[in-house]
Amino acid sequence: MAGQSTIRIEVAVGALLAAVALLIVSLMGGHDAGSARSGSSKGSAAAAAAATADASAKAVASRHSALDAGPLLEGAPLAMHVYLMSRCPFGARLLRALDAANDWLDGRISLRVDFIVGQHADKPLAVGGPDELATDAVLLCAIEQTSQRAWLPFAACIGTPPGDWKACAQRAKLDAARIARCIATRGPSMLAQSALRARAADATRSPTLFIAGRRHDGPRATFDLVREACARLEPPLPVVCWAELEGRAPPHR
């Protein structure tokens, strides 16, 4: 089973890069986009598809922003949105802090993750190269198929060297074969949409954090995030919001 998953991943990477390139190429802007669009009818079709995807992503981003910035209902979770590069160690550090903070807060963080992808000529660009784009797709599929409690530590594991996603999946008890099937069939479109959401949010640095619809540039250690959440959550507040935070370990799962 593990061998089959590896083969599927390797085959999917090439298709992933090609499909993401077609969807993103005309949207990332800059001096390379024009030359990438000139030429074949395939480029024109890609531009049309990308324009539709861009409009959809911006509409979704607008709705998310409005919902995130709205008043919290009693006992409702606090919306947070992270834009990052999956192989970025700073992104992994933030995900670990959010995972621990969410434990402290009794699961009162509702987290979304999207991925920052640049553009150069006719290819999507990631600092970590093709492996990072494939890892983005792995995480998007894991996020869709599992609970936040399962995928959040999985995502932090992948962002920490050596970042072996299969070992991380085993540790988090995720179905690697199911994730591989998702990548092969839906990975490219999911990653393209995710990259467009990051672009619509003007997220260019990894990680970029939004809390309740507003960019958060303050401290991001576990207890900093807990305090930030406690200041925004509506009653009933988690016990930790009334407790002395320093020097205590996160509660067990």
What is the full per-residue pLDDT of the chain (253 aa) written as tens digits?
545 545 455 545 555 555 555 554 444 443 333 333 334 444 554 455 455 545 545 554 544 444 444 445 557 899 999 999 988 889 999 999 999 999 999 999 999 999 998 754 344 455 556 778 888 999 999 999 899 989 998 988 887 777 788 899 999 999 989 998 998 889 888 998 999 999 999 999 999 999 999 999 999 999 999 999 999 998 888 988 887 445 565 555 4
**In which element (H, E) is residue 47 found?**
helix 41-69
The helix or strand, by DSSP H or E, that contains position 34, with its residue range, turns out to be helix 31-37
Residue 131 has φ and ψ, to the nearest 5°, of: -60, -35
Domain chopping of the chain, boundaries = 2-242
Model-wide pTM > 0.95: no
Q: Write out 91-105 in H/E/C secondary structure.
A: HHHHHHHHHHHHHHC
- DSSP of 113-160: EEE--EEETTEEE-TT-HHHHHHHHHHHHHHHHS-HHHHHHHHHHHTS
Instruction: Look up residue 18 and give its two tokens.
Output: 């090609």
> CA separation (Å) from 197 to 84, 115, 155?
12, 8, 19
Residue at token pair 């401290």: 219
For residue 56 the two structure tokens come to 């959809």
Fold of 2-242: Glutaredoxin (3.40.30)
* Peptide bond connecting 162 to the previous residue in cis, omega within 30 degrees of 0: yes
Residue with tokens 């949207």: 27
